[in-house]
Structure 1
Amino acid sequence: MAGDFNELMVRVDKSGGTPRAFAPMALFRQTMEAASLSDMGFYGCHFTWFNKFTKERLDRSFMSASWKAIFPLSRTITLPPYDSDHNHLLIEARAERDPIHRHPRTFHFEEIWHGNSQCLNIIQKNWSTPLTGNMMKQLGSNIHSTGQQLLQWHATDFQRQKLELREVQSKLLDIMRQPYSVEQYEEQRRLHVKQSQLLSQEEKYWRQRSRAIWLKDGDRNSAYFHRKASNRKSRNTIRGLMNNDGVWTTDPQEIKQLLLNFYNMTFTSEGVNESAISKVF
């Protein structure tokens, strides 16, 4: 959904003129959140409307989580003004990118591992394995082997938990379709406890990835955490770069060369004043 909403989301969306009231902006944000829509962001000019007194960003694009799952590499570009006091928006819907070589997954200790006996057993087993060589080499080998086995165990165990959660939810649905009985009530209560435990593990998993660490345990909203994690991953994705000629490029090899050139120039000395350096020393 995109267009002129005639409202700001935050005060930095306005430059000049009378400051916009806070309440309408808050209501606008709450409305979009209630509709499960998130701002797509933009490339290019920040402001999309102007008059002789002010500039504002009134034109925006929003997307749902399901749409983003289909087109994860989409973006909104603010085009230059053309025969209007509003800048046009160009929405690029992209589902895939050119294949790139990904590095092996970086090890991160998962919050859901804490207190798990299997995790403790893996760590104890690996650190008690006798090794040869100097102490630093042994330390490095222990860290590497422990991390690899924890990742393998996590992939299997987390998948098992997802299957178990679906099975518990399916059983609860079957019970709800049947007439009441004491036996079914006890079974239903047991399944609810199990479901709560599994959902708590899932919440911690996505909470850690969303970086929303300010939320306390028990604020279960896995969809929110999942959306935060997806948005964070999207922000960290480099879709393209602009070269020195102002041309936007998305080719992985060209992006790699642009990055190399940038850091070569950044860390290369040019025009050094040798006499000034000699005075310092």
Structure 2
Amino acid sequence: MDPFTRVSNKISNTRHALVEWSKAKFGSLKREIEEVRAKLAVFFDQSLAALPGEDRLRLELKLQELLQKEQIFWKQRSRILWLSEGDMNTRYFHQCALNRKKKNLIKRLRDVNGVWRTDDKEIQDVVLSYYKELFQRSYPANMGEVTDTLPRVITEEMNVDLTKDVSNEEVSMALKQMKLSKAPIPEGFAPCFYQ
């Protein structure tokens, strides 16, 4: 197996393991918050003697910790860059994440015959055929005559530099220049994972 496939498989396996970890770690976050709030509500509904101060304080600290975890979760989920130190999690940020998902979803596309396609496979075929046609159409046979009249801007040294293999240092430098929580690549990881 070639190195690229090995790395690709490892990234895929890591993504699946992280999805399972996230379900185990954060899947019950909402339920835990509700349970702690319910316990605190009992304290506030009854007399001050109903729950000792130490227990109440412990529950309030636990609730604060859970709310911070929830805020981090939604911050990462919604990818709102300006939310660096905002309010505790609100419905607004939850709605932003849902709206972003809806906005990025392609529900239908019209094919070359004007027929709307809604099936995922059909939508994929419409996109592929569009770009295949776009990049294959009207390639004139006498392009050499046209390009010979254009001034050469790229020198032979520049061409050699542009076509050489990418070094580890270049990849590392490019990764370090990316914003940590920008949009993930197809594997589902943001640049901070690779950094």
TM-score interval w.r.t. the shorter chain?
A: 0.5 to 0.7
Secondary structure in 2 matching 1:162:
helix
Shift of the 199–140 alpha-carbon distance from structure 1 to 2, 3 Å rule, reads: same
Q: Is the 8 A contact 1:202 1:222 kept in 2?
A: no
Q: Distance in 2 between matches of 1:134 and 1:246?
A: 43
Secondary structure in 1 matching 2:52:
helix
Matching of residue 195 in structure 1 with residue 195 in structure 2: no
Matching of residue 177 in structure 1 with residue 34 in structure 2: no
Which of 99, 111, 114 pairs up with 1:243? 111
Structure with the bigger percentage of strand = 1
Q: Is the 8 A contact 1:240 1:250 kept in 2?
A: yes
Matching of residue 214 in structure 1 with residue 82 in structure 2: yes
- Superposed CA deviations along residues 66-114 of structure 1, whole A, max 9, x for unmatched, are xxxxxxxxxxxxxxxxxxxxxxxxxxxxxxxxxxxxxxxxxxxxxxxxx
Which of 137, 143, 148 pairs up with 1:276? 143
| Equivalence map 1:161-176=2 (5 Å) | 161-176=29-44
Shift of the 162–257 alpha-carbon distance from structure 1 to 2, 3 Å rule, reads: same
Unaligned ranges ≥5, structure 2 = 149-195
Offset at residue 177 of structure 1 (A): 1.5
Which residue of 2 is the match for residue 262 of structure 1? 130
Shift of the 271–250 alpha-carbon distance from structure 1 to 2, 3 Å rule, reads: same
Identity of aligned residues (%): 33
Residue 277 of structure 1 aligns to which amino acid in structure 2? G
Shift of the 151–243 alpha-carbon distance from structure 1 to 2, 3 Å rule, reads: closer
| Equivalence map 1:9-20=2 (5 Å) | none
Aligned length: 148
Q: Distance in 2 between matches of 1:243 and 1:139?
A: 36
Offset at residue 202 of structure 1 (A): 0.8
Residue 41 of structure 2 aligns to which amino acid in structure 1? L
Higher relative contact order (CA 8 A, sep 6+): 2
Q: Distance in 1 between matches of 2:132 and 2:37?
A: 56
Structure with the bigger percentage of helix = 2
Q: Is the 8 A contact 1:168 1:191 kept in 2?
A: yes
Which of 24, 28, 31 pairs up with 1:156? 24
Offset at residue 164 of structure 1 (A): 2.1
| Equivalence map 1:15-164=2 (5 Å) | 142-164=10-32
Q: Distance in 2 between matches of 1:267 and 1:240?
A: 23
